[in-house]
Amino acid sequence: MTTRAKKPAPTRKRPASRANTKSTGRASRFLKALLLSSLASFGAATYVLQPKWPAQWSPDAILAHLGWPQKTIYAPVAVPNGALTQTRFADCPQFFPQGTLPAVPSGQALRELCFSAFAILHNGQTKTPVFVAERLNRKLLTQAQGMQRTDKFYAEAHLPSGERANLDDYKGSGFSRGHMAPAGDMSSKEAMAQSFSLANMVPQDQTHNAGPWSRIEQDTRKYVMRAAGDVYVYTGPYYDNKPRSIGYGVAVPSHLFKVVYDATTGRSWVHWQANSASTKESAPISYEEFQRRTGLRLLPAAN
């Protein structure tokens, strides 16, 4: 008599346990951290060997391509930290009064850029200027009155790709590309073209840019036209404790400042404006109060 073998009972699939789910999540986080670490190491070496490595191969761009959601990027806090860095600007000292070069709170990725009509101290962490310095007078502004605005914005090739803003960063952001050294101050075709470098820009509220801030720029030019000699102007952003950003980490300032210094009279004042649509024109603050708020040392010491 032939005995038939019994078929084994079918194995029932059990639902994945919570432990397995947690394990999968930990594995995913581990792989992401591993990739980020590898990208960071590779990126550091790449910037040394090839500082113009394309932005599409940045860690953020690769993660976005892989479909991992990107969290809001917060720019570093730009507040005094007790230590100052002395700038040099060896190639363009003419933009600074009486040979006084600014000292600023120390930070990483600070780079000096010299253009034909202005100088920039650039912060690679915020991808915006620390300040932009100009030397203005009646002759230069008279020449500037005949200049045609070009509106050809461009990414600054003199900055490493990981430290500079790009045109795509501003697309769809809701912010305008706010000039720090205004196009209206430019007295030559070369200067006009250079003023549209994104190194000279910050994300600025459009209403503020076209309204109160534009009137401050115009009033500054009117003062320069009446002044007896050179007037030095420093313009830049200020950030609160947790600034938001647009694009790949271009920081949005909470405030903008414009320091005006008449070298003939020794007078100085500072326009201090919130980067907001609701901002109105207000009385300037003193240079001493500006120093207290920002830690920036821009002007010659008072006699």
Distances (CA, A) of 15 to 4, 18, 217: 33, 9, 67
Report which of 240, 231, 224, 214 is spatially closest to residue 294, judged by C-alpha positions.
Answer: 240
**What whole-number distance in Å separates Cα of residue 259 and Cα of residue 291?**
11
Triad 125, 68, 30: Cα angle to 5°? 90
Name the nearest CA neighbour of 265 among 297, 298, 290, 299.
299
Q: Where are the beta strands (DSSP E) in 60-182?
A: 84-86, 103-105, 110-114, 119-123, 128-136, 175-179
Structure tokens given for 131: 């300040």
Question: Is 65 designated active site?
Answer: no
Please count the other Cβ atoms lying within 10 Å of the Cβ belonging to residue 46.
16
Half-sphere exposure in the Cβ direction for 298 (13 Å, CA)? 31
- Strand, coil or helix: 225: helix
Q: Which member of 65, 122, 158, 179 is catalytic? A: 179
Strand pairing partners for 131?
Answer: 121
Sequence-ordered list of residues with C-beta below 8 angstroms from that of 118, at least 6 positions apart, any chain: 95, 132, 133, 134, 181, 185, 191, 194, 195, 200
Amino acid at 198: L
The catalytic site residues sit at 179
